[in-house]
A and B are shown apart, each in its own frame.
Chain A
């Protein structure tokens, strides 16, 4: 007997599973840097703690998905590795001092509430890790911004972005390399860019979103950032906080970004403007997470107004 199916009969190599593995690989430089950086700043125990947080977040994300699928008797989906990605992004978004139980709570929230309740992989309208991060920020504001262990001298206890917001001076090179305080994975621009390059070479992410996002953000900072046309100030804003991490790893999340080409540009513009607004006029120094989840909600609208004109129909529709 031969297998019969409707054409086409061949498939490209790249699969869902492989994409997720690639995203995990791309985050390894940032994760490693985060672990080492925590150790360098606060001592070996914190390097270990950073590692544990990442492991706990990944473990609880995968376990939540496993148990959820068991309970509602659906086919097991943990093999697609997407829960690992969610766990890793969430962990890299947490400060190294963050309590373990809250990390578990965040992971469960990400997988069960944000992802699975809406139908699982690809069906969620909000990035699970970011949804959980915002949930944690709202619930445990103090712990989410505790970037320094209590025993550390309070003078240096601010992230570069907070210092920037308060008008203090920061060092651009330090911000680029990332040997300063912040969430575990967001500090090192260079490590994040290495991963982004890998994702680009592997054709996993579409650079339209991150480049539009960063470009528009830069323009907005120059226009109304409060420091006039200061390019160093602008670069510090780009390197500071979660912008690079958000632009390349979270704004590019497939299910929560527009599928249409024009939509991707529009989405990047919205993100850039909102992030700049939040950072300049908001109460907190950071604005990336809220900008992204807010824009996630705009995606259906953006897609609806950016349906492309099909080949050979361009002129007809205008007429």
Chain B
């Protein structure tokens, strides 16, 4: 099998051996669970419950407040204690519903919701989309874009690829790997559900070649699906970037002004596809996900099935506690994740991992002048002149920044990783992008 990839990229230490062979384990959240109303891109959901209400597991507690928005469901049964702004992983406070877990896990009735059997062909497409929307499914790779929006492109017939992004190129994270190992059949079934929506599309499960066992197993299982195939990607960061996985699989390129659908593609993460399977086949809303807890600062690195709303503090306890010398805690991967200053924040739809490190490489790095060595240029997956963008950012020169295509940056952090002078290239470019976007909004 040929191995597909893109130009540029880096090979950071991947640390996946710490957790890749640890089977997932469901945890039982204690006490209060916090459900922020904004866990996705788009408008925040509107709370549908009042303080004192009793809610069931799987009950909708936040209603999508627009087309680009997503429903939020309770992951446990219990009582609504508070509705107030709470701290979330990105350091801001977001309006949240706080539910006291009664540990009964009483579930709302989801019987006879298998719409694949209960719908005729005509209404099936709409029923699938409706089920995905109702289940509050968003892109679980981290961007959290509402999936029902993705599944409704302008022209359905123009979609010829549905790509399952199974690259999992961020170091340490093994959540998707565990999902593919433990639920391969459900994954392929989920993909075939999505293929119901796009008559001209073929399904591709695109996996980095550092997971040969999964590639082999899925290839075998995919044999019975006419429209599904498994493709191996070169193991390289950021192989899982949407633009670059599309390029690797189809040879088509999209830029910042285009959507995957413009290139005839729908790209969804592994767990997203699995959630679609659960929503459509079992009528289950999205209320939990696999979270990898790893790094050298945690005693028992593991993969946990975590109900949303659980505090990160409890994940640390479940993983055997943390080393007292931990310097840095990251929600998400080391390349694009969010550093936490407080672990008492809830697990949300986008939380793929919690990493604890005894040694913060950023703190230890000693910055020198830019050498103009060009290593950032060689590794940038977007083909940008990163050093010049950082220079433009330092000068506040927006014209130069745009001339050097700065708005195309995907903030993958590759330049920053490779930089021998330890310059904060990604951070500078990110700040500049935000400033220019703000300017444009002002008009």
Contacts and interface: CB of A to CB of B under 8 A. Distances in A.
A19 B378 CA distance: 17
Interface centre among A2, A3, A309, by most chain B C-beta atoms within 10 angstroms, is A2
A18 interface: yes
A313 B372 contact: no
A8 B426 contact: yes
Interface string B3-34: 00010001011000000000000000000000
A202 B430 CA distance: 30
B363 interface: yes
Interface stretch (A30-38, A216-224, A255-263): A255-263
B371 A255 contact: yes
Contact of B338 (A7, A16, A254, A309): A7
A259 B408 contact: no
B253 A311 contact: yes
Nearest to B364: A11
A122 B420 CA distance: 12
Interface stretch (B98-106, B182-190, B313-321, B328-336): B328-336
B277 interface: no
Contact of A3 (B337, B362, B424, B426): B362
Nearest to A1: B341
B339 A4 contact: yes
A305 interface: no
Interface residues of B, dominant DSSP: loop
B420 A6 contact: no
A310 B368 contact: no
Interface in B244-279: 244, 247, 253-256, 258
B419 to A, nearest CB: 8
A133 B288 CA distance: 68
B383 interface: yes
Interface string B127-142: 0000000000000000
B326 interface: yes
Given A16-B421, A312-B258, A11 B362 contact: yes
B329 A260 contact: no
A12 B372 contact: no
A2 B384 contact: no
B368 A121 contact: yes
Contacts of A4: 91, 328, 339-341
B383 A2 contact: no
A10 B255 contact: no
Contact of A10 (B13, B327, B363): B13
A313 B417 contact: no
A119 interface: yes
Interface of A: 1-12, 14-19, 77, 80, 119-123, 206, 254-255, 257, 259-261, 264, 303, 307-314, 316
27 contacts: A2-B326, A3-B328, A3-B339, A4-B339, A4-B341, A5-B339, A7-B338, A7-B426, A8-B336, A9-B337, A10-B334, A10-B361, A11-B365, A11-B417, A11-B419, A11-B422, A12-B419, A18-B420, A19-B373, A206-B378, A257-B372, A259-B387, A308-B377, A310-B405, A310-B408, A312-B408, A313-B408
Interface of B: 6, 10, 12-13, 91, 171, 243-244, 247, 253-256, 258, 326-330, 332, 334-341, 357, 360-363, 365-366, 368-375, 377-378, 381-385, 387-388, 403-405, 408, 411, 413, 416-422, 424, 426-427, 430
Given A3-B327, A122-B368, A310-B382, 16 more contacts: A5-B339, A8-B334, A8-B413, A8-B426, A9-B334, A9-B339, A10-B361, A11-B361, A11-B419, A14-B420, A120-B369, A257-B372, A259-B385, A309-B383, A312-B256, A312-B408
